[in-house]
Amino acid sequence: MKNLLPAYGRLLALCLAVTAALGQEAPRLLPDRGLAGIRQQLLETGTDSRLMCVAAHPDDEDSETLAYYNRGRGVRTSIVLANWGEGGQNEIGSELYEELGAIRARETLAAAELLGTRVYCLNQKDFGYSKTIEETWRFWRREVALERLVRVLRTERPHVVITNHRVGSGHGNHQAMAELIAEAIPLAASPEAYTAQLVEEGLVPWRVERFFQQARHHEGLPGEDYDVAIRVADPDPIRGLTFQEIAAEALNRHRSQGIKGVWGRVNAAREQSPVNAFRLVVGDRPEGKLRDLFEGMAGAWWLDGSATPFKDLGPSEAATASERQFNAALRLALSNLLVDRLKVEASVSEAIASLSARAVEVDSATEWERFPPEAVLGEKEFWSAEDMERYQRQVLETLESIGDKQRRLERILGDLWGIRLEIRNEGKSPTPGEVSEVILEVSNRGEIDVEIESLRLEAPVGWTVEGIREEGAADARATLAPGEKHTRRFHVGVAPEEPPTLPATQSLYRALRPWPSNLRGLVLLKRADRYGRVEGEYRLEIEPAWELRFHPAAPLLRADRVAETSLSLEVVRHAREPKDATVAVTFPDGQRQTLSLSGSEMLQEAVPLEWKPSSSLGVGKHSLVATLLAPDARIDDGVLDYAMITDVSRPMMFRIVPEVMKGTHGRFKQVTLDKCKKFTLTADRPLYIHADGEIFSGPGTDIRKVSFEILPNALKVIRG
């Protein structure tokens, strides 16, 4: 031990020295767990207020204001980014472009966990520093970005939106996001805009009540006037840090952008100003300054002089019996959180009971008898836009809020009882259409017996979930003693048209949420006469049926192009069942080679490619493309496989082309994959025809009709 302690001390000193050299500090804040997590859930149960921050890149978000409202007030917060900053530099490694974007997405999620916020991304191209807004719009798909931003507004339904950006100053991407959110806010409220979101996705129009731009800091002007100021330097007594310091900890998670000490300088500059100032862009402008972003809105409990969201509703307060019971119970739960867990459990259970009565009160207040049945079903002549918005906010949102609060309080009981849920899959990841075994494991880390009332696994529409009945396995309803585990196995069938989630660097850019979960586990619990729950989400990774990689990835060619170039195409079959495929390789000068792969004979194979560049190829960088045109084609089935794309717009064509590379283009309705023995193609203009990479007809020819027919077993092949 005498020798060990000095060695340990030297090792610790070395670690501290390395950390200091890298410009990093040991984290002062970790994600909420235990009682701190339960307190945060109680805080979020006390308000329905929602805040959204719109920013261009990771680290552009207003993390101080987000921390102030979520960690200090329980407000639901969200961030919307334009892109993942994949066009920037990488200070921690050699990854660039899409791989760098994946790193920054993970950093953003780590920062968001400390702030308690959700993250969305519009997936617009990051091409480096943009000097003007006009340059940004040349690279971004404006209509796509606008439609996505409206969808996020209707999904999150924020009462207040903030941004650090404004048009006229700063990075071109920043200006574009400021312009985009100003355009999206009125469109999100219009029932005439993006109606497919309303009809097909079940979203509803949403009116943002206030939109603020930050003043004085970021793109603001020093000394400019403002409408409201937020004291972000106030302390959070639970975490022992100010909201500025919580934001600083979140900013430090963006390591690929600030490992050389830049975040220390940024955070030091932030601390010189104890407030964040904002100017009102959308919303009723007050005569004087606002006290808060949410002043005058329902749910802003912190403006009433109350220390908690659950103030004492005395006789003078306009409140129902259930509201008084709810507030009294959760006020007691907060006061006993560090003192008596059994009292907390009893108080939370009482609050859950009050919510059932509250739902009945809300439903009776709608006065259904005032409307004929046709109005309830949504006939237009009975519903004005004002009626629809009133009904949405006063009835539907209230009922939805009651359901959210009940589920959150039931999760708190599950946490108090020490119940944990783990979801995992056994074996390799499935490909589209395959079945994977998924395990749900419930464990009791508490000190009391808890009953499992039900256990289920939920998957997306089109997937299948089937429980595996194992001999001797415990029933779904079981009593879980302290230290025990309960396991259930499921066969999960992935929908055939489901796009692969791997590689992760590609799937990141296809969704608004970074790497969203696709499986959800739910366990309903009971102890005595009290009901709780534990929930968990899991991302079941889906591999493509085939994977293609060129070697070398970036070959060098002689400028005189006289030499034949040797390449290899590594083909990997991830599908468990044998499946043949046809791969079309297009070289930079237009030459093509078609390869027929027998899935029954290979799992992984390097296919040699010989290519002599033509004289039309210029000096520079060129791309080599491999495509799976007919992913289910077989070389010995006696039929032709064809892929036909019809009635497709230019934007949709760009959407389909990447899918052709992976052989997943058949899931689009504009694509037909089928088989035949003979077909004839007739056109009203000259046809451009390539036959196995050779140009059959092109410019200067006038072929308008062509027939193809398969001749089974016409060639005899001798294998040596």
What's the average model confidence in pLDDT over 50-69?
96
Lowest mean pLDDT among 27-31, 184-188, 454-458, 647-651: 647-651
Mean pLDDT (whole number) for 181-203:
95
- Does the pTM surpass 0.85? The reply is no
Residue 674 has pLDDT above 70, yes or no: yes
pLDDT bin (cut points 50, 70, 90) of residue 371 is very low
Provide the pLDDT confidence category of residue 7 given band limits of 50, 70 and 90.
very low
Q: For residue 403, what are its two tokens? A: 């359901």
Q: What DSSP line would sit under 466-534, residue for residue?
A: EE---TTPPPSSEEE-TT-EEEEEEEEEPPTTPPP--SHHHHGGGSSSSS---EEEEEEEEETTEEEEE
Please report the sign of the dihedral spanned by the C-alpha atoms of residue 495, residue 496, residue 501, residue 507.
Answer: negative
Cα distances (angstroms) measured from residue 700 to each of 226, 545, 704: 68, 40, 12
CATH number at 18-309: 3.40.50.10320
Residue 108 confidence (pLDDT) above 80:
yes
pLDDT band at 380 (very low <50, low <70, confident <90, very high): very low
CATH 2.60.40.1230 range(s) for the chain read 417-538
Helix or strand run (H / E) with residue 244: helix 243-251
Q: 430, 436 in Cβ contact below 8 A?
A: yes
Q: Mean pLDDT lowest for which of 161-165, 194-198, 714-718?
A: 714-718
Angle among Cα 526, 528, 534 to the nearest 5 degrees reads 20
d(CA 23, CA 695): 59
At residue 363, the pLDDT reads 63
pLDDT-derived band at 226, boundaries 50, 70, 90: very high
What residue ranges in 602-693 does DSSP mark as E strands?
Answer: 604-611, 625-630, 640-645, 671-676, 678-682, 689-691
The model's pLDDT over 244-286, given as tens digits with 9 standing for 90+, comes to 999 999 999 999 987 666 667 776 777 778 999 999 999 987 7
C-beta neighbour count of 350 within 10 angstroms: 18
pLDDT interval class at 6 (50, 70, 90): very low
Chain segment 312-326, per-residue pLDDT in tens: 887 767 788 899 999
Residues of the chain with CATH 3.40.50.10320: 18-309
pLDDT of 621 > 80? The answer is: no
pLDDT at residue 115 is higher than 60: yes
Q: Which of 14-18, 84-88, 104-108, 399-403 has the lowest mean pLDDT?
A: 14-18
Percent of the chain at pLDDT exceeding 70:
82
* 458 contact partners, CB below 8 Å, separation of at least 6: 465, 519, 520, 521, 522
Residue with the larger pLDDT of the pair 90 and 687: 90
Tally the residues of the chain. 720
Q: Does domain 417-538 have CATH number 1.10.10.60?
A: no
Tens digit of pLDDT for each residue in 418-436?
A: 999 999 998 899 999 999 9
Mean pLDDT value across the chain? 84
Across 472-479, average pLDDT = 67
Q: Which CATH number fits domain 546-676: 3.40.50, 1.10.10, 2.30.29, 2.60.40?
A: 2.60.40
For residue 609, is pLDDT > 60? yes
**Nearest-10 crossing angle of helices 34-45, 63-73:** 90
| Cα Rg of the chain, angstroms | 30
